[in-house]
Amino acid sequence: MQLNRLTWPSMLGSDYEGQICSIAGALEVVGERWSLLIVRNVFLGLRRFDEIQSNLGIARNVLHTRLTRLLEQGVLEKRLYQEHPPRYEYRLTEKGLDLWPTMVALMQWGDRYTPSSGGPAVVLEHRACGGAVDEHRLCEACGASLSVRDVRALPGPGAAPEHPLLRRAAHQQDAQPA
């Protein structure tokens, strides 16, 4: 299909070849339906294949394909956490961590335009002072400009009982000495 600068195809194919655009390039890496949800889960601390698969309800073969793509693109890396049998977890690379502003923007957009009745599932808090994170990734309490390493994700009022942040909080509480 021949395109000129003023027209767009009526339907996009499965890739963005020929699109000279940074957004199209980013979509080539993380634009597939499951990719950002996988990245979200790794940001939330779900790093093992079975954890991600269980949380998303994604078919194992689809998850394998998406993880392989994210590894090839340098968004994730595999780290051995068990030697016998070998088991790996997935960690965000610097390239993956650089998706944090995008993830925050999508989360806040979803909270605003597709809110759940119980409120947001995740709230972001400035580690240093406990202030909320605004739409510009500034702390509402102290005004600091925040990066991924300055912020913690906490379960919000709309978090489902099986939300990974609630499970992690319960696990940490169980691990505390009585």
pLDDT per position as a tens digit, 146-164: 999 999 999 999 999 989 8
Q: Measured on CA atoms in the order 90, 96, 101, 105, is the torsion positive or negative?
A: negative
Is residue 70 pLDDT above 60, yes or no?
yes
**pLDDT in the model for residue 8:** 44
* Sign (positive or negative) of CA dihedral 40, 46, 47, 48: negative
What is the per-residue pLDDT for 18?
77
pTM reported for the whole predicted model? 0.84
Cα 158 from Cα 131, distance rounded (Å):
19
H or E segment to which residue 54 belongs? helix 49-56
Nearest to 62 by CA among 53, 54, 71, 50: 53
- Tell me the per-residue pLDDT of 111-150, one tens digit each, with 9 for 90 and over: 999 999 999 999 999 999 999 999 999 999 999 999 999 9
Helix orientation angle between 100-113 and 35-43, rounded to the nearest 10 degrees: 100
Instruction: Please determine, for residue 174, whether its predicted confidence score (pLDDT) is greater than 90.
Output: no
For 6-54, how does the pLDDT look when each residue is reduced to its tens digit (9 = 90+)?
444 444 455 667 788 999 999 999 999 999 999 999 999 999 999 999 9
User: What class does CATH assign to 22-95?
Assistant: mainly alpha
Is the N-terminal amide bond of 85 cis, ω within 30° of 0? yes
pLDDT over 90 (residue 175): no
For the chain, give every domain's residue range. 22-95, 99-175
Q: Which of 42, 154, 34 is nearest to 95 (CA)?
A: 42
Q: What is the pLDDT of residues 90-116, one digit of tens each?
A: 999 999 999 999 999 999 999 999 999
At 103 the pLDDT is 97
Q: Please report which confidence band the pLDDT of residue 169 belongs to, taking 50, 70 and 90 as the band edges.
A: confident
* Tokens read off for 93: 């690379």
At 178, is the pLDDT very low, low, confident or very high (cuts 50, 70, 90)? Answer: low
Question: 10 Å Cβ neighbour count for 150?
Answer: 16
Candidate from 29-33, 61-65, 69-73, 74-78 with smallest mean pLDDT: 29-33
